[in-house]
Structures are given as C-alpha cells and as structure tokens.
C-alpha cells in the first residue's frame, strides 16, 4: 500500500476539522457575549447552590435510566439482524421472534409492576 491511498482519508479529516473550526468560530463571532457575576460563578446553573450536593435522589430516576438503557441496547441488537436477514433465513427470523417475545414479556412485567408509572 502506498501513502497515496490514504490521501482521501487525510482530505476527509482536514475537511472535518475545518468545518468544526468554522462552526466554533462563527459561534464565537456571532453569538452573544454578555457575562455577569451569575454566569461567571462556579456553578453551571448560574446561581449559588442552596442544598447539599449529597442529597438523595428518588430511586425512580435510576430505574427509568436502567430501563431505558436495557431496552435501548436490546433494540440495537436488531440492526445487525436486519442487515443479515437474508443470510440467516427462517431460523434466524424465529430466533429474533423469540428474542422479541422475551423483550415484550419483560416490558409487560415492568409495566404491571408500575416501574413506568411516574407519580
């Protein structure tokens, strides 16, 4: 392999860097810049903290996050299967139907347990 074969990759990287720099530069040039004491404070929200940083969160936040990650990852498993559907044939299709049935059973279980209800 010669280095000439990597030239399109180098051009692609350079164009990507230029587009990113152009977007950042336009944002800095055209964007409003009106700092004040609240915006320059050490807190991202713009005002002083009024409670302890170690306050307890409701468990439902974590439960919803875990359920989202679980179902999101399981849906991500469907993309390779969809691409290879012709190669895997009927046995692969049946395997995915079993996979989706287990997913639906878990979803119905969580729904019946009230994990998706926000009070």
Per-residue model confidence as pLDDT tens digits over 85-106: 889 889 989 998 998 899 889 8
Domain span at 18 = 3-113
Q: What is the pLDDT of residue 63?
A: 78
Domain for residue 10, yes or no? yes
More confident residue, 74 or 1: 74
Domain for residue 119, yes or no? no
Domain for residue 106, yes or no? yes
Query: Could you tell me the pLDDT band of residue 116, with boundaries at 50, 70 and 90?
Result: confident
Domain for residue 80, yes or no? yes
**Total tally of structural domains belonging to the chain:** 1
Domain for residue 118, yes or no? no
Question: CA angle, 8 as apex, 6 and 14 as ends, to 5°?
Answer: 105
Query: Is the distance from CB of 84 to CB of 92 less than 8 angstroms?
Result: yes
- The CA radius of gyration of the chain, in Å to the nearest whole number, is 25
Locate 17 and state its tokens. Answer: 């860097």
Locate 52 and state its tokens. Answer: 């302890």
pLDDT tens for each residue of 37-86: 766 666 655 455 566 667 676 777 777 788 888 888 888 888 888 888 88
Is-above-0.75 flag for pTM? Answer: no
Q: What is the pLDDT of residue 71?
A: 80
Domain for residue 103, yes or no? yes
- What CATH number is associated with residue 78? 1.20.58.1610
Question: CA angle, 35 as apex, 31 and 40 as ends, to 5°?
Answer: 125
């Amino acid at each position: 392999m010669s280095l000439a074969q990597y030239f399109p990759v180098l051009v692609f990287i350079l164009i990507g860097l230029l587009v990113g720099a152009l977007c950042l530069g336009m944002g800095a040039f055209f964007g409003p810049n009106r700092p004040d004491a609240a915006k320059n404070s050490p807190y991202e929200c713009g005002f002083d903290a009024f409670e302890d940083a170690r306050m307890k969160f409701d468990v439902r936040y974590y439960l919803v996050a875990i359920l989202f990650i679980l179902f999101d990852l399981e849906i991500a498993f469907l993309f390779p299967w969809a691409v290879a559907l012709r190669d895997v044939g009927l046995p692969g299709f049946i395997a995915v139907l079993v996979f989706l049935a287990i997913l639906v059973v878990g979803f119905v279980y969580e729904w019946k347990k009230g994990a998706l209800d926000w009070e």
